[in-house]
A and B are shown apart, each in its own frame.
Chain A
Amino acid sequence: VLSLFYIITMKPKYDIVNKLKLYRLLAGDMTQQDLADKVGATRQTILSIEKGRYNPSVGLALRITQTLGVTLEELFQLKEGESDG
């Protein structure tokens, strides 16, 4: 029952994929901790975004794009073929 709660509330209605790990490494081999410190988050948050377990708020997403020098669309995309049902 507990896991069902988790499944129901955690499964995204549509998939957002990101290239955070790629752009982080392209930005001078930045570590997760470095990026976390620069955007005012924890390493857990960066790790969870990279693993696709967490979609950041607009504010945090914008801070990340600013730090990495990429656009929001380059970093995050809606996965093709999926809808917000």
Chain B
Amino acid sequence: MAKWLSRFSWRPTPATLVAGVLITVGLILSDLNQMSLCLVALGTFGPGILRELGWLKDQDEFQRKAAWRAGYHAFLAGGFITFIIVAYLRSGERSIGDPVQMVTMILAILWFTWLFSSLLAYWGTQRTASRILIIFGIVWLTFIILSTHDNVLSLLMHSIVAVPFFALAYSAKRWPRITGFLLLAAGVFFFYRFRLYEIFSDRPLEKGRGTVIVFFLGPFIASGIALLSMNKRIAAKQDEEN
């Protein structure tokens, strides 16, 4: 297991494992009692708080720097979007709807930015984009297998949709700039295909639209921009290694 995890340049510390358990248990129990989301908060932010207080010393300088940078990026993205929402609300022209949806979206922005920034620091741009696309492809395939397992033809037809994800995962390592452009195009396509533009309607956050945009379009747009603007020297070096 440890050897398999080391392929991903990731070796979780005991604190990270405990945090993972707290987050998982908290999410599972949230179906029964929403207060168990406090466990998720404890798992998500607890280790970081302990590290900043100096009571937990399980990271070296690179990991600390990556965590600080990811936290700063989350602050910038979360703060920026929150200010826009506050301005929108204070203008008094429209209601944002369910406040829980709004807060969940802000948390999603904070969490996604932090995670994406951390992945970029640990894996680099091309590998991050490639692995995100593979995860999307696998999730899609799993969803298709679970929903159309009784019809082989339908299963095969729907599985074809996963092919572009795997193709882009491959091309992210070979042709980062072309792939970056295609990812941005895919983001725009999905934005219209799944009517996510209704975020600009009178009920912007209905059906968890804001959170869907963050978790579904976020990886495409963020990976696309990162691939399009990655450091040329690092890109050349990674090309050689690939």
Residues of chain A whose beta carbon lies under 8 Å from any beta carbon of chain B? 1-7, 9-12, 15, 40-45, 47-49, 51-54, 56-57, 60, 79
Distance from B17 Cβ to chain A, minimum over Cβ atoms (Å): 16
A7 and B226 form a contact (CB under 8 A): yes
Distance from A63 Cβ to chain B, minimum over Cβ atoms (Å): 11
State A15–B113 Cα separation when bound (angstroms): 26
B61 and A41 form a contact (CB under 8 A): yes
A2-B113, A2-B218, A45-B63 are known contacts. Are A7 and B9 too (CB-CB below 8 A)? no
Name the one of B11, B116, B238 contacting A43, with C-beta atoms under 8 angstroms: B11
Distance from B184 Cβ to chain A, minimum over Cβ atoms (Å): 10
Residue of A nearest to B231 (CB): A11
Distance from A10 Cβ to chain B, minimum over Cβ atoms (Å): 7
State A30–B219 Cα separation when bound (angstroms): 36
Residues of chain B whose beta carbon lies under 8 Å from any beta carbon of chain A? 6, 9-11, 59-63, 65, 69, 72-73, 76-77, 80, 112-113, 116-117, 120-122, 124, 218, 221-226, 229, 231, 233-234, 237-238
State A47–B226 Cα separation when bound (angstroms): 20
Query: Inter-chain contact count A-B, CB under 8 Å?
Result: 86
A53 and B234 form a contact (CB under 8 A): yes
State A15–B236 Cα separation when bound (angstroms): 14
Residue of B nearest to A49 (CB): B62
A2-B218, A56-B61 are known contacts. Are A51 and B238 too (CB-CB below 8 A)? yes
Report, nearest first, the 6 A-B pairs whose CB atoms are least far apart. Answer: A3-B225, A45-B62, A3-B226, A41-B60, A3-B222, A5-B73
In the assembled complex, 10 residue pairs joining A and B whose CB atoms fall closer than 8 Å, in A order, are: A1-B80, A9-B73, A41-B60, A41-B62, A44-B122, A48-B121, A48-B122, A52-B234, A53-B121, A56-B62
Distance from B169 Cβ to chain A, minimum over Cβ atoms (Å): 18
A3-B229, A51-B237 are known contacts. Are A57 and B61 too (CB-CB below 8 A)? yes
